[in-house]
Amino acid sequence: MARVLHDVFVFTTTLVLRIRVLGYWSLVYGYCALCAAAALLKLGWNLILRPSTTFRWGIRETPPACLSDTSLGTHCYVRIKESGLRFHYVAAGERGKPLMLFLHGFPEFWFSWRHQLREFKSEFRVVAVDMRGYGESDLPSSTESYHFDYLVTDVKDIVEYLGYNRCYLVGHDWGGTIAWLFAIHYPEMVNKLIVLNCPHPSVFTDYALRHPSQLLKSSYFFFFQLPRFPELMLSINDFKALKGLFTSRSTGIGRKGRWLTAEDMEAYLYAFSQPGALTGALNYYRNVFSSFPLSQNDVKSPVLLLWGERDAFLEQEMAEACRVYIRNHFRLNIISGASHWLQQDQPDIVNTLIWTFLKEGEGHKTHRN
């Protein structure tokens, strides 16, 4: 009798789990279909209004001068033996000074940290990396290559290649997610953690599942699951949608901050017009539902979380909720009028807040040797 009850229990539990999994993926791909239908309607409307320009785009052959600005640092490359991937990074400041490592988000590359490279090179060895799939770093073609374990290991390998065993880690958007996870898995390698407009992974997961408003704001996660179509929609009309992320009234930079100059915008278009560039960036999203971390682990490093009040992609309530997962000093600064693109939108305020945080408590001078 006990055996029968045990078998019934196992069968019921397995069935419930499979139904939940089926329901989860039905929701994911059902939402994908809705997003695709909306994008197709938008594409059709563009074809009616601007048939001659809708499918106009092309590779930018010549990089703009701002990408070779020597005041930002030196362009370097490293091939990691374990993964076999080559990474591109821009470095400034004296070797031997404490390492400050910058991780960018989507759709960005090392250039998004230009204001911080200039600011912190006086007292740090500052390094802004093109993460795998971006810029001049290698672009693995399979979505499995963008699993979180690989992305976190990339950071560890780069820090060690640079000759350090600790760093001050700064991440924005996707780079913020990787920074959170790196601080969780390698706490001994993080002096201080600075995250811009990105909640702790557990906070994002819990909040999104309970708040339809955040699921709506994150609808692009579902749209990006589709093969090839998102690349098309981001690139048509000479990358109009990509430009809009940085310049539109709802999502863009510049309401109270700094506008992107024409040359700044051209730098982004140059980077993402290269063969495979959009696919590499979108593969972060295409792997997210199968590998998004649900870790409840806490962060032991001191944490500064900076948040743009006008972030169009993330609910502000998630910022305060991150406090639950911090086991050290936690400082949260919400910057009035700032957009999601915080380090480019309000660089002066961001840099000042980072300096203040660095000088608090143990401060960076404690670790200079």
239-254 pLDDT tens trace: 999 999 999 988 998 6
Q: How deeply is 331 buried, as exposed, middle or buried, from its count of CB atoms within 10 A (0-12, 13-18, 19+)?
A: middle
Average pLDDT, the chain: 87
Is residue 10 over pLDDT 60? no
- Note the pLDDT of residue 293: 65
Mean pLDDT of 70-76: 97
Residue located via tokens 């699993």: 147
Band the pLDDT of 82: cuts 50, 70, 90.
Answer: confident
Mean pLDDT of 253-261: 75
Band the pLDDT of 108: cuts 50, 70, 90.
Answer: very high
Is residue 45 over pLDDT 70? no
Is residue 339 over pLDDT 80? yes
- Note the pLDDT of residue 364: 42
Is residue 38 over pLDDT 60? yes
Is residue 335 over pLDDT 70? yes
Is residue 318 over pLDDT 80? yes
Q: Where are the domains of the chain?
A: 65-211+285-363
> pLDDT > 90: what percent of the chain?
69
Band the pLDDT of 366: cuts 50, 70, 90.
Answer: very low
Is residue 56 over pLDDT 60? no
**Residue, of 294 and 176, whose pLDDT is higher:** 176
Is residue 1 over pLDDT 50? yes
Active site residues per annotation: 173, 285, 340
- Note the pLDDT of residue 367: 34
Is residue 63 over pLDDT 80? yes
Q: Which residues sit opposite 171 in a β-bridge?
A: 103, 195
CATH tag for 65-211+285-363 (out of 3.40.640.10, 3.40.50.11540, 3.40.50.300, 3.40.50.1820): 3.40.50.1820
